[in-house]
Amino acid sequence: MKFGTKAIHAGQEPDPSTGAIMTPIFQTSTYVQEAPGKHKGYVYARGKNPTRTALEKCIASLEKTKYCLCFSSGMGAADTVIKLLKPGDEVIATHDLYGGSYRMFVRVFSNYGIKFHFVDMVDARNITKFLTKNTKLLWVETPTNPMMNIIDLTVCSKIAKKNNLILAVDNTFASPYLQNPADFGADIVAHSVTKYLGGHSDVVMGALCINNDDLREKLAFIQNSCGATPGPMDSYLVLRGIKTLHLRMEKHCENGKKIAYFLRKHPNVDKVFWPGFPDHTNHAIAKKQMSGFGGMMSFTLKGDKLEDAYNVVTRTKVFSLAESLGGVESLISHPASMTHASIPKEVRMKTGISDSLIRLSVGVEDGDDLVEDIAMSLQQ
Ligand code: P1T
């Protein structure tokens, strides 16, 4: 089956008791047993819920993996991956990544004896310089948040296989419509479902997609033991949102391209970071591992002044100033003081998150209105 058909049908059968075409919202915390241990596969809703099961099957099908596990947030999903490790283990992560992931790695898991190396993976061979006998996990974001770097998944996978590492890829920015990291050897594909998968800025959720049975068992054990699972109502909202993922992504790509080229010609704009430009450092890799370039991009202003960036982000009328991304509505944000504020200034400056860096999540509104809005906000 092709993507658009799977987005609408995968994991979803008409309800056997009524024929309802939409998956019911099983709003229950527990399930009645005929005798102790005699049940229909559902015992307690932290462990399993039928609405969530339908969603997990649907996302697994879109990521072309055998399994998916859903979590109450993207961070809940990432937390579960790190809990596979033990004190003394080491992780090599992209140096440019969502500020919340950086914060959890450094400020939570470092206290448990896990060591993190943040590495520039634009040339993925750099990873090998940080390998030790304790390295267990590669955590790769591509495209990266917010610099839109593209990391070569084939190279990462070769290094992971050779050194017996788990390769986890955060596929939030691309969505499964534009990229399937498991095709390139990822062991775990992570999502902030909050973003493109949900698509309507009304749910916070995460997901992990896996092929390996043993890895699935370990992650499901942590999921149930630690309990960061989503409720049935949120699972339903995402099932509903996913039905238009393919249509939304096409429009995100179309509008994204329009805005990226507009920004690039603007006299007040310094650099534009978008992997669809033929001269983007890793454009060739993006073309190989993605089927489109999406609606996420960042740009800096000439002079790199904080107050100029503040003026731009507060002047737009269609783009709303807010954290998050991937919804139908366009958002504008200032990473240095918003999504990436928890990264120390000297660290973020090294990755390119300068004072004037502005990030756009280009939505699916009319593209001309979006260009007009950005043009107005860039006027001095
Ligand atoms: O917000 P949550 O659902 O917990 O997902 C965390 C997360 C994980 N991975 C990536 C690449 C992300 O971008 C995020 C969340 N990001 C934002 C809220 C943001 O505005 O960048």
pLDDT in tens, 191-201: 999 999 999 99
Domain assignments of the chain as residue spans, ordered by start: 3-242, 245-377
> Which CATH code for domain 3-242?
3.40.640.10
Helix (H) or strand (E) holding 4: helix 3-9
Kindly list the catalytic residues: 46, 98, 170, 195
Q: Give per-residue pLDDT as tens, 268-278.
A: 999 999 999 99
Q: Name the residue among 179, 189, 234 with its Cα closest to residue 216.
A: 189
Confirm if 237 and 199 have CB atoms less than 8 A apart. Answer: no
> Position of tokens 């890799």?
285
Q: Give the global pTM.
A: 0.98
What residues are in contact with ligand 1 under a 6 Å CB criterion? 73-75, 98, 100-101, 141, 145, 170, 172, 192, 194, 204, 206, 323-325, 339
**pLDDT of 332 higher than 80:** yes
Amino acid at 146: P
Please state, for a pLDDT cut of 70, what percent of the chain lies above it: 100
**pLDDT of 357 higher than 80:** yes
Return the residue whose CA atom lies nearest to atom 12 of ligand 1.
98
Per DSSP, the three-state class of 309 is: helix
**pLDDT of 239 higher than 80:** yes
CA of 14 to the centre of ligand 1 (A): 33
The count of other CB atoms within 10 Å of the CB of residue 41 is 8
Return the residue whose CA atom lies nearest to atom 4 of ligand 1.
74
Q: Name the residue among 317, 314, 280 with its Cα closest to residue 296.
A: 280
**pLDDT of 365 higher than 90:** yes
Q: Ligand 1 pocket check: which of 104, 145, 330, 361 to mutate, most ligand atoms within 8 Å of Cβ?
A: 145
Q: Name the residue among 47, 68, 49 with its Cα closest to residue 59.
A: 68
CA of 364 to the centre of ligand 1 (A): 20
Superfamily of domain 245-377: Aspartate Aminotransferase, domain 1 (3.90.1150.10)
What's the pLDDT band for 169 if we cut at 50, 70, 90?
A: very high
pLDDT score of 128: 98
Per DSSP, the three-state class of 142 is: coil
Residue 265 buriedness (CB in 10 A; 0-12 / 13-18 / 19+)? exposed
What's the pLDDT band for 380 if we cut at 50, 70, 90?
A: confident
Q: How far is 325 from 330, CA to CA, in rounded Å? A: 8
Q: Classify 365 in phi/psi space as left (phi over 0), alpha (psi -120 to 50) or beta.
A: beta
Q: How far is 52 from 59, CA to CA, in rounded Å? A: 11
CA of 142 to the centre of ligand 1 (A): 13
